[in-house]
């Protein structure tokens, strides 16, 4: 099992530590790819969110391997995994847990909900009522759950990966802006390429019963403590003032862009730099470049924009708008 020791990134030992951390991340990606066919961007962005200490919103039609991705990621660091299927009748206590009175002992016992895990898959979150979605808000923001007035911390690392079907589908409702803003990244999972689909069918139909790919063959490469060490190393990656200003310019442009009704707030800029730090770490650098910021801008900001009806009628998406902004905002030269 690999491990990494935190040191100052300004020293020779720190640079070696950056390289070792990047190598561990690459091994995690390679191991996950043994179970998850294709979806390379989704795998990479999910790892970025985990190492940045954030949560992920995944959009895509059912059956594209979103559950498999989370299970595979949990397997690689020996983490616990739980799945909640969000439905219109799901109660907040079904998510967080509740106090249960036991007649035998005549005492109240705390029964912890499925959120007490390392990786939580909140499946089809936009089918749940607002009250249940709000119950997840404290969990995502505070990394703790309050039951009967008592706060219970969650395991570390902790990440919510929430899936939503495209809002055009029947029975789905847009998530409130306050909840969308809690997600570090929004990943759009598309259909596999023809070659990837061929490989997937070959893998699933070779001597298997049913259509489920398992993760039992994946190796546990690191521990949960190592993931936390990687998070701290990523948080120490340096950000030049000019790169920070570049991120601020991108975020502020979303508020002034014609046809954008609501732009990204300050949390969008914070999230952008958090993700950019992990991107730099994956490239074996102890400093963030404008390219890191540009690479993470779309997945970090696209769920934070609300477009005017006029732009939507033109068939434009928030991704299209962000690409236009990135073309206009000049990146600094370092």
> Each residue of 200-224: pLDDT tens digit?
666 665 655 444 556 777 889 999 9
Please spell the DSSP secondary structure of 40-74, one letter per residue.
Answer: HHHHHHHHHHHHTT--EEEE--TTSSHHHHHHHHH
> Each residue of 65-87: pLDDT tens digit?
778 888 889 999 999 999 999 88
The predicted pLDDT at position 169 comes to 55
293 and 246 in contact (C-beta within 8 Å)?
yes
The predicted pLDDT at position 309 comes to 87
For residue 93, the tally of other CB atoms under 10 A from its CB is 15
Interval 232-254 mean pLDDT: 96
Among 133-147, 262-276, 293-307, whose mean pLDDT is lowest? 133-147
> Which position has the higher pLDDT, 203 or 283?
283
For residue 13, the tally of other CB atoms under 10 A from its CB is 12
Residue 193, Cβ density class (10 Å: 0-12 exposed, 13-18 middle, ≥19 buried): exposed
Per-residue buried b or exposed e for 117-150, using 16+ beta carbons within 10 Å of the residue's own CB = bbbbbbbbbbbbbeebbebbebbbeeeebebeee
The predicted pLDDT at position 249 comes to 96
Show the DSSP H helices in 208-289 as ranges. Answer: 224-235, 241-256, 266-282
256 and 263 in contact (C-beta within 8 Å)?
yes
On average, the pLDDT of the chain sits at: 85
pLDDT above 60 (res 178)? yes
Q: What is the CA radius of gyration of the chain?
A: 21
Residue whose C-alpha is closest to residue 119's, from 79, 65, 153: 79
220 and 299 in contact (C-beta within 8 Å)?
no
CA distance 167 to 59: 9
pLDDT above 90 (res 146)? no
Class of the CATH domain delimited by 238-334 = mainly alpha
Which residue ranges make up each domain of the chain?
238-334
pTM of the model: 0.87
Which two three-digit tokens encode residue 64? 């594209």
Q: Is the dihedral of CA 285, 73, 70, 202 positive or negative?
A: positive
């Amino acid at each position: 099992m690999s491990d990494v020791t935190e040191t100052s990134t300004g020293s020779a030992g720190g640079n070696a530590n950056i390289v070792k951390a990047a190598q561990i991340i690459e091994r995690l990606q390679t191991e996950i790819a043994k179970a998850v066919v294709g979806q390379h961007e989704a795998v990479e962005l999910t790892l970025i969110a985990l190492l940045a200490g954030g949560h992920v919103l995944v959009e895509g039609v059912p059956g594209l391997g979103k559950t498999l991705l989370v299970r595979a990621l949990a397997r690689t660091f020996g983490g616990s995994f739980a799945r909640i299927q969000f439905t219109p009748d799901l109660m907040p206590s079904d998510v967080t847990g509740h106090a249960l009175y036991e007649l035998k002992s005549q005492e109240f016992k705390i029964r912890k909900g499925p959120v007490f895990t390392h990786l939580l898959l909140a499946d089809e979150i936009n089918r749940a009522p607002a009250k249940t979605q709000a119950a997840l808000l404290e969990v995502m923001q505070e990394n703790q759950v309050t039951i009967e007035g008592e706060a219970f911390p969650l395991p570390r690392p902790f990440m919510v990966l929430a899936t939503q079907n495209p809002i055009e589908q029947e029975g789905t409702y847009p998530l409130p802006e306050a909840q969308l803003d809690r997600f570090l990244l929004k990943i759009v999972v598309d259909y596999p390429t023809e070659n990837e689909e061929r490989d997937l069918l070959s893998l699933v139909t070779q001597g298997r019963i049913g259509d489920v790919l398992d993760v039992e063959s994946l190796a546990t490469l690191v521990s949960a403590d190592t993931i936390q060490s990687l998070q701290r190393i990523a948080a120490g990656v340096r950000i030049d003032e000019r790169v920070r200003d570049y991120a601020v310019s991108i975020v502020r442009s979303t508020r002034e862009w014609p046809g954008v009704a609501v732009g990204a707030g300050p949390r969008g800029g914070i999230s952008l730099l958090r993700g950019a730090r992990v991107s730099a770490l994956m490239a074996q650098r102890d400093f963030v470049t404008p390219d890191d910021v540009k690479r993470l801008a779309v997945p970090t900001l696209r769920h934070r924009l609300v477009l005017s009806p006029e732009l939507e009628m033109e068939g434009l998406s928030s991704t299209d708008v962000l690409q236009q902004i990135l073309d206009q905002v000049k990146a600094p030269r370092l």
